[in-house]
Structures are given as C-alpha cells and as structure tokens.
Structure 1
Amino acid sequence: MNYFQKRYRIVSQLLLLILIGCQSPDSISGRIENAPKDSKIYLIKPGNLRSVAAPYFGTVVDSASIFSNGDFNFSDMPEIKTSELFELAVQPQGKAPNYLKTENPLEANFMPIVLEPGSHVSIYSDWFQFQKRYSIKMPSKNNKALLKLRDINVQAFKTYLNNKNWHVEDGSELLAKEKALLNYQKALMNFANETKELLPALVALRWVSPENDYERVPEFLVEQCKSRKKNYPEHPWVKELCEMASPENLPVLVGSTFPNLKLPLISGDTLDIKTMMGKKLTIVDLWASWCAPCRKENREILVPLWDKYHDQGLNIIAYGLESDLSYWKTAAERDGADRWFQASDLQGDDADFLKKIRVQTIPANFILDAEGMVIAKNLHGKALEHLVNTYFE
C-alpha cells in the first residue's frame, strides 16, 4: 500500500466515524393494530426532565400516518449523537399530537423509547392499549429496561390502584387511598433505585409523579440525585434532578434535624419546638378541624398513644391549618387533642410554619427523637402505633 492509498484509507475511516457519530436512526417502523381511520403516531422529544410523561410539554419532531393495515414508518428522523429519550404517542384525528394519557397505564397512549445513532427500531402495539401491549424487536439495554419498567408499572397499578373506589368523605378511606398510592410509587422507586440505566431510571422517577409532586417521597429524589450524579454529573437532566432534590426545595427530610421554630399556642403562649419536645419521642402533627382523617387520627391513634406513653417521655405538638379560633378549639376539645400542645398562626394553609418546613398536604407528621432528629414521617394508623410501641417497648 503506497502513501496516497494509506492517506485515503485514513481519511475515509475518519469521515466514516464522523458520519456515524451524527447519524440518525434509519427509521422507526412497525404496526399498530385496531388504529382508527386517519390516525397518526408521533415522535415527541421532552425538552427537560419535567417534560417527561407530561401532557402537552414535549415537542413533536416527526409523525407518521397509520395505514389501514396498521403499518407506519417515520421518514424524517432527527439527528442524534448519543442515546436520547423520546416518546411515541398515538393520536386520533383532531387530537393534540403531544397529549399524553398518564392517569392509567392500561389505557396510556404513549411509550418512552431510547433512540441510538444508526439504529433501526421496529415496534408492535395495539391502539387501545398502546403502552400495555407495546413491544420492540431486538430491544437495546435501555429499551429492555423501559419494557421492564412498563411491566412493573402495569402490575403495580393493577394491584394497588385499578378499580379502587375510595369514599373521600370517610377519613379512613382517604388514608387508605394515600397508602395504596405510596405502595404503587414504591414499585417504581425500587426499579429506579436498582437499574443501572440512567434514562429508564429517570422515566420511573417521572412516572412516580407525572404532576411533579414529590412532597411525600422527597428522600427518593435525594437518593436518585446522589446515585446518578456519580456517573452522569454533566447530564442536564441529572442536574435538573439534583436541583429538584435540593433540601431547600423539599419538606424536612428523614435524618435531618427539625427546625426549632417558635409557634403560637392555643393557650396564648408562644414557645419554640425544642421547649415543647418530649424527653424520648415527639410527634409533630399537622392537622385541621375540617380534615376528616386528621380528626379520626386524633381520637383513635393519638389519644391512646398519649395516654399510654406521655409519662414515659412522649409529647405531641399539633399544628392546625386553621383560620377560625372557635372551630379550632372546639375540634381539639371534642377529639381530646387539647391534652397536648396545640399551635396555629390562624392563617390556614398560607402559614409561615408550613412554608418553612415545605409541607402543603395534610394529614402529615414528623416523628422526632430526643435530639429533634426526624426518624420517620407521615406514618398513620397502625403504622404510627407500631413505631411508637416499638420505640418505647
């Protein structure tokens, strides 16, 4: 091989590498059974982490008509240089292309997909259960992980949420609904914590709460930030995740010291939390006279725990989301909750105390040890009883 042949070969290889580096997927094609006439499938690009699995927020980058036999083929794929997350969504004529059904995975009209440079993707699904019946031929590691996440999501939804009918006026039903939702979320959080694949983990994180409400599971965000930051410190979505997981944006975390704030009491005094803490254990309870599950918790859980353990070092500091002093006093007296400290700024849910601990949802509680560290939170009913009993006995 002479000098010019060697030079030509080297230049050709370099050009090939450059082309491969910027190469877009050859295509996405496949079949969607039972698609209505004039329907389409759209390729959507989430612009940031908060846009993943969020209706109307993604940007449509390509579309394809679904023919009468169900076949489709994208023809104008975007160029990509590395693995990127997109979403496929099927829509009938006249529907917004980036509308995603996120409430029920059994009826979801979209599915996340990771595209990689130079790959050809072939999928199959059904119009009426697009996400549930979605399959992909010879999936990559990322897409295998997404399929596994889909299966976990479907099973957890069926187990904990599907066809449940909670009566919102009944306090115990509201707590049962919250418990079921948390169990559903735990299945997705466990996947995110266990998978090594970044993009599927971030999809799981967004499926935990499409509304971007992580008030009840902030520790999950913190752990995900720590985990993903190690391997992907410069990824823009990891940076966004870690911003969401910043302590000043979250409720007081388990393992943190509860802030020693001053609270106005129903008695007229103003005391700081440290002064009111129990010698061994303190329950900071957020409630309201109009909150049915809170009132039920007062009578059936907190009063018995107080009677049993107050002399052994248990104290309760209750903060009421109240605006009327008389309603507050009457509710506390009727429930027997006037036995422990009752505090409120009488500013309803706009109180500074709630803003400082970054809580919006009740019933809520924080369980503190003798040093004021949060050892658990948002435990109710039997779970709260068990923790307190175990702690003292």
Structure 2
Amino acid sequence: MDKNFFKIITGAVFLVLNLTACNSPAVISGTVEGAEKENTKIYLIQPEDLQHVAASYLGKIIDSAIVHSDGRFKFNNLPDTKEPTLYELAVQPTAKAGNYFNNDLNTRANYMPIIWQNGEHLQITARFTEFQKIFSIDNPSEINRALLNLRNIKQEAYQTHLANKQWNVEEGDELMAKEHAVLQYQTALMEFANSTPHLLPAMVTLRWVSPENDYERIPEFLVDQCTKWKVKEADHPWVKQLCKESEPKNLPVLIGDEFPNIQLPMMTKDTVLLNDVLGKKLTIVDLWASWCAPCRIENRKVLAPLYDEYHDQGLQILAYALESDERSWKAAAKRDGADRWLQSSDLQGDDAPFLKKIRVRTIPANFILNNNGVVIAKNLHGEELMDLVRSSFEK
C-alpha cells in the first residue's frame, strides 16, 4: 500500500475519532452507594422560580435515571442549557414524589443543588442515606466548588448549633436559647452569601437560611442581598424576585431606619407620640404579652435591672403589650415590676395596629433606638441586651 495513501486514511480515522469525542453528548452520571432497593431512581429537577429552590414538590422534574445494583446512574435526556443553570439532584428514601426534598434532618437531606450547562460532564459520587452530606463532584467547576463549600458550611453550622439539641420551648429561657442557636446557624450561611461572587450559590443560601421563607428576624439579610445582586445581575428574574421581597413594605423596621413616630394608647389612659418619650440616650421598644413566658422572664431578669440602673442616666423603656384583657395586662406588669416603665397596648391582641405598622408578627421582640429614634439594634435579649446598654452608658 502506498505510504501517502496510508497516512491519508490514518489521518482521516483520527479526525473522525476526534470529532466524535468532541461532539459526544455531555452527561451527568455517577455512583450512589447503598441504594435502598433495586431500580432506585435519581431525579434531575429544575427550580423555575426563586421560591422553588430547596422546596419540596415545586421544582420541575427534567429527567430521572435508574440507580443500578452497582450504584451507577446516568441521565439521558439533559436539557439544552447554554447558560450555567441551577438544578437539583434528588434520591427518594420512600415512595415520595421525585421532587420531594427532606429539609428537616440536615444530615439526611436527600438532594443537592448543582450548576450545569450544555457541554459539561459532571461525575457524581454520593451515598443514598446521606446524599447531600457526602455528595461530591470529580474536578468541580469554580461555581460548583462554591456550592460544595456552602454545603460544608451548612453542615458544620448545623452540627455546632443545632444537632442533638432539644429545647423545651414552653420554658422562656429555652425558647430564647433555641432562637439564638438558630440565628447562629443562619449567620454562618449569611456570611457565605455576603462574600460569594456567584449569584446562584447565593440564592441557594437564601433558601437554606429559611426554607419556610420567614425572614422576620433577619430582614437586613434580604436587603443586603438585593443591594449586592441588583448591581451585578439586575436583569436576572431571581434578583428581581429577591428585591421585591425586600421592599420596605414587606419587612419589619430595619436597623438604621428611623422608628415610626406612632401615637400610642398608654396604660395610664392617655396617648403619647413615641418621639415625645424617647430617652435622652437610649430607648428600648419592647414587645411582650402576659402570656409570653420568655417575655415575663425578660421583664424581671433583664429590663427591670437595666431600668433601675440606667433610667436616670437617659434610658427609656417603652413596652407594647399584645393583650386583649386589660386586667391580665396590668396584673402581669405589676407582678414583674414592669409597670415602672411606659406601658402601651391597643388591647386588640395579635391584631394590634402597632404590630401592623412596624410589620412584626413574633414576640418577644425589641428595637433599641438612639436619642434620635433611629434603630441601632434589634431583637437582643438577655446578656446581649444588657451588654449593649451597659456599653452605651460607659462610653
């Protein structure tokens, strides 16, 4: 055979092989160890809305793949996605729908967010019973590394602050301890969201911070995220949704805001404007009720000592009670020694106009104002509140 002809044929073969390799379909595949039963399925899910991220039953199932007896799986019907897109992989421990997510037990979460686009090959390793916990990607992209890092932060924060903890929430001290632990857990995630340069991992963080979509205690986080991403990704639909959620009308009064100058009905039967009774240095606007155990503890153990020590130096306490029965309100205030400071209530219970004006639903709650009525801190309790007041008067 002619050598030149041989070279031409050989080169053509290599060219075909190379073109075939280059044009081979991208895949998401891998191994899931310890499948519960034969023919277990893994699902590829797309959240089409910000509220669908990390939410059960809301994401759109794009494809499913059988996990074979050796643990291998491969998706065959991947979408034609030109831009990096957030998907979620999920295995089902029971006969749940394919887009069911377990968010209750952190270490048992059965799903993991990933970023994928057409042309990419993701090789996954996971374990059926601890899918999210040990989920890994071979040679992940920078943005998928960010998601894996977020997962690690979430797990570490959960183990540190929430794992194996049990609180008797009927006891006031324990309810506040639980709230503090939840906030510490959330803070670790929020720090990631505030620092990451990647939008989609930040949006996953937003949903992991509160799968219930309840940001009443941390509204500043939503505002900060909107401010950050509307500069970088203003046209992204999820950024638009985020910024709509973070509009002032949807959130409680924020740190840095001037507290509304509301007219309040007092226990003494007169009415006052809030700005007329501000302390010369600090004012604690305290939301409480006679039936709220942690509120009653706060009255006796925190507010009463602070009032006794600092009222003459410029500390004011204005308490608003969620009461419908005047006698119960007055009796509780007297028993706690809370009738020494200003007491207000519309006597309309949870339907209190004051709560609607400041957009708060949950007590105990408080706002700490400076002498101009600007919120400098909020929802501090126990030693944290005492430390803030003491440090303010020792300056």
TM-score (norm 1): 0.93
Give the drift of 1:80: 0.9
User: Does 2:369 correspond to 1:372?
Assistant: no
Match runs of 1:24-43 below 5 Å = 26-37=26-37, 38-43=39-44
What's the CA shift string for 1:30-51, capped at 9, x where partnerless?
1101112232111111121111
Match runs of 1:121-132 below 5 Å = 121-132=122-133
Paired position in structure 2 for 1:96? 97
Paired position in structure 1 for 2:57? 56
Give me the whole-angstrom Cα distance separating, in 2, the residues matched to 1:187 and 1:93: 31
**Aligned pair count?**
373
User: Does 2:266 correspond to 1:259?
Assistant: no
Give the drift of 1:117: 2.1
Give the drift of 1:390: 0.7
Give me the whole-angstrom Cα distance separating, in 2, the residues matched to 1:115 and 1:348: 50
The answer (yes or no) to whether the contact 1:354–1:360 under 8 Å persists in 2 is yes
Give the drift of 1:25: 6.8
The answer (yes or no) to whether the contact 2:259–2:375 under 8 Å persists in 1 is yes
Give the drift of 1:339: 0.6
What's the CA shift string for 1:224-271, capped at 9, x where partnerless?
111111110101111111111111111100000000011111111111
Paired position in structure 1 for 2:181? 180
Paired position in structure 2 for 1:291? 292
Instruction: List alignment gaps of at least 5 residues for structure 1.
Output: 1-15
The answer (yes or no) to whether the contact 2:307–2:316 under 8 Å persists in 1 is yes
Give me the whole-angstrom Cα distance separating, in 2, the residues matched to 1:106 and 1:91: 15
Give me the whole-angstrom Cα distance separating, in 1, the residues matched to 2:106 and 2:80: 30
263 and 24 in structure 1: CA distance in 2 versus 1, 3 angstrom threshold: farther
User: Does 2:100 correspond to 1:110?
Assistant: no
* Residue type at the aligned position of 2:26: D
Paired position in structure 1 for 2:46? 45
The answer (yes or no) to whether the contact 2:93–2:110 under 8 Å persists in 1 is no
TM-score (norm 2): 0.92
Give the drift of 1:383: 0.4
Give me the whole-angstrom Cα distance separating, in 1, the residues matched to 2:24 and 2:69: 28
What's the CA shift string for 1:135-160, capped at 9, x where partnerless?
00111111000000000000000000
262 and 137 in structure 1: CA distance in 2 versus 1, 3 angstrom threshold: same
- The 3-state SS of whatever aligns with 1:44 is strand
What's the CA shift string for 1:5-25, capped at 9, x where partnerless?
xxxxxxxxxxx9xxx9xx997
Give me the whole-angstrom Cα distance separating, in 2, the residues matched to 1:360 and 1:24: 55
Give me the whole-angstrom Cα distance separating, in 2, the residues matched to 1:125 and 1:93: 17
What's the CA shift string for 1:266-297, capped at 9, x where partnerless?
11111111122111110000011111110000
Q: CA RMSD in A?
A: 1.5
What's the CA shift string for 1:144-185, capped at 9, x where partnerless?
000000000000000000000111121111111011100000
User: Does 2:344 correspond to 1:326?
Assistant: no
Paired position in structure 2 for 1:171? 172
Give me the whole-angstrom Cα distance separating, in 1, the residues matched to 2:147 and 2:25: 19
Give the drift of 1:66: 1.0
Give me the whole-angstrom Cα distance separating, in 2, the residues matched to 1:61 and 1:311: 66
Instruction: List alignment gaps of at least 5 residues for structure 2.
Output: 1-18
* Residue type at the aligned position of 2:234: P
The answer (yes or no) to whether the contact 1:286–1:318 under 8 Å persists in 2 is yes
Match runs of 1:1-393 below 5 Å = 26-37=26-37, 38-92=39-93, 94-393=95-394
What's the CA shift string for 1:92-138, capped at 9, x where partnerless?
46311111011222100000000122111110100010000100011
The answer (yes or no) to whether the contact 1:40–1:92 under 8 Å persists in 2 is no
Give me the whole-angstrom Cα distance separating, in 1, the residues matched to 2:372 and 2:304: 23
